[in-house]
Structure 1
Amino acid sequence: MADRSGDAGPGDRHVVGCAQAGLPWAAWIAFQLDRSGQRTAMARLDRPLGASPAEVLRGLLGEPGRIPLVLDDWCAG
């Protein structure tokens, strides 16, 4: 897993991941990060039939930058 420790600088990128139900919160978080000068991207977490939440979340590990996640009941399985 990539090292995501340390302070974020203005050039760092944040990928805000969320399931559909968490989209309003994820959009607000991305807005706040953008306002503070951080670069952001949204990643909607759609779980294919039969895939576990862990499998879907593992897919985000290849994304560069920090990854704040907005989690809800969807993650409970």
Structure 2
Amino acid sequence: MAATGRSRGRRARSPLTRSRDQAMSVTEGALRVGYSNLGHFTRIFTRLTGILPSEYRRAAQTALSENERMSRKTSDSR
């Protein structure tokens, strides 16, 4: 895989890991980093991360939600 593909694949993770209200769809993320073919983007992303972009996005958003919940819980107990 070319270095350009790896670089774009890594950059694609960022828009997928934002909070729910800021997150963009997998298609929007792929387009933002320069992929016009969603199937190709999915293959490259999966090869780099080991999971589908939608699974990555879901896991990242779940982790963010958990962090936000723990943060609120901590501040509420003060």
User: Which TM-score tier does this pair reach, normalised by the shorter chain?
Assistant: 0.3 to 0.5
Structure richer in strand, relative to its length: 1
Q: TM-score with structure 2 length normalisation?
A: 0.33
Q: Comparing both chains, which one has the higher relative contact order based on Cα–Cα distances under 8 Å and sequence gaps of 6 or more?
A: 1
TM-score, scaled relative to structure 1: 0.34
- Which has the larger share of helix? 2
